[in-house]
C-alpha cells in the first residue's frame, strides 16, 4: 500500500468505518511509513478536539440572514401543472374555447338569410321570408336562419329556425321536431350538436 491509497483509509478509520483486511493493511502501512503515521496522529488529535466541542446552535438571526440570501422559491402555477399532467384534456379545453369563440363570432357577424335542406324545390323564398306552400311537401330537414319561416304545407323531417320567426298555419304538418334558437348560447349548442353529428356520420 502506498501513501496515496492510505489517506482515504485513514479518514475511514477515524470515522469508524474501516474493517477487515483494509484495517490490517493500513496498520501495516502506518508502522512502515513515518510520514503517514505522523499525519494519522495529527488527524486523530484534531478529531478528538472536534468531538470535545459543545454543539453549536445557529441563532435565529443567522438563520434568517442565510434564508434571505437564498434565491426566492418559484411560485408553482397550478394551471401549468394541470397542463403538464393532462395534455389531452388541455387540448380539448382549448379546442372547445376556440370553437365557442368562432360560433359566437358567427352568431354576431352573419346577418344574411340562410336556408338549408336536402329538398328545397317546394320552398318559396320572398326577401327574408321562406314559405312552404299548402299542398307541398319538403322531404327531410329544413333549417332557416335569420328569416321568417311560414309553413302551410308538410315537412317530413325536423324544422329549425335560428334567430328568426316561425309561423305555422293550421294546415301545416311537421313529422319531426320543431326547434327555435333565438339566443347565442342556444346557437352554440346547436352548432356543437351539428358538428358532433357530422363526426359520427
| Planar angle of CA 57, 63, 67, nearest 5 degrees | 150
Residue 113 has which C-alpha cell?
Answer: 338569410
Do 32 and 111 belong to one domain?
no
Nearest to 39 by CA among 59, 57, 16, 13: 13
Query: Is residue 85 assigned to a domain?
Result: no
Distance in angstroms (rounded) separating the CA atoms of residues 164 and 195: 21
For residue 184, the model assigns a pLDDT of 54
Number of domains within the chain: 2
Answer for the pair 134, 171: CB distance below 8 angstroms, yes or no.
yes
Do 192 and 107 belong to one domain?
yes
Query: Is residue 66 assigned to a domain?
Result: no
Query: Is residue 140 assigned to a domain?
Result: yes
For residue 150, the model assigns a pLDDT of 93
Do 47 and 109 belong to one domain?
no
Do 107 and 186 belong to one domain?
yes
Residue 144 has which C-alpha cell?
Answer: 332557416
Residue 107 has which C-alpha cell?
Answer: 352568431
Query: Is residue 80 assigned to a domain?
Result: no
Query: Is residue 57 assigned to a domain?
Result: no
Distance in angstroms (rounded) separating the CA atoms of residues 105 and 128: 22
3-state secondary structure of 167: strand
CA distance readout (Å), 96 to 17, 85, 172, 194:
64, 19, 38, 14
Residue 160's φ and ψ, nearest 5 degrees, are -130, 125
Do 182 and 107 belong to one domain?
yes
Q: Please list the rounded mean pLDDT of every run of 10 residues in the chain (201 residues).
A: 86 82 87 90 84 69 74 67 74 74 62 83 89 90 88 89 86 87 62 64 58
Q: 109 lies in which domain range?
A: 101-200
Distance in angstroms (rounded) separating the CA atoms of residues 133 and 144: 15
Do 105 and 189 belong to one domain?
yes
pTM exceeding 0.95: no
Amino acid at each position: 500500500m502506498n501513501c496515496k491509497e492510505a489517506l482515504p483509509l485513514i479518514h475511514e478509520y477515524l470515522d469508524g468505518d474501516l474493517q477487515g483486511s483494509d484495517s490490517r493493511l493500513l496498520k501495516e502501512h502506518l508502522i512502515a511509513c513515518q510520514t503517514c503515521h505522523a499525519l494519522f496522529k495529527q488527524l486523530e488529535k484534531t478529531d478528538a478536539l472536534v468531538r470535545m466541542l459543545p454543539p453549536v446552535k445557529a441563532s435565529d438571526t443567522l438563520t434568517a440572514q442565510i434564508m434571505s440570501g437564498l434565491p426566492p422559491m418559484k411560485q408553482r402555477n397550478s394551471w401549468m401543472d394541470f397542463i403538464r399532467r393532462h395534455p389531452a384534456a388541455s387540448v380539448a379545453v382549448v379546442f372547445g374555447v376556440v370553437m365557442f369563440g368562432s360560433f359566437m363570432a358567427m352568431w354576431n357577424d352573419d346577418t344574411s338569410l340562410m336556408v338549408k335542406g336536402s329538398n328545397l324545390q317546394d320552398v318559396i323564398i320572398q326577401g327574408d321570408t321562406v314559405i312552404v306552400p299548402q299542398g307541398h311537401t319538403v322531404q327531410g330537414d329544413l333549417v332557416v336562419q335569420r328569416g321568417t319561416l311560414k309553413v302551410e304545407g308538410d315537412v317530413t323531417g325536423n324544422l329549425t329556425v335560428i334567430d328568426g320567426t316561425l309561423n305555422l298555419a293550421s294546415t301545416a304538418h311537421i313529422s319531426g321536431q320543431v326547434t327555435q334558437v333565438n339566443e347565442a348560447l342556444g346557437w352554440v349548442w346547436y352548432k356543437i350538436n351539428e358538428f358532433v353529428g357530422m363526426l359520427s356520420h
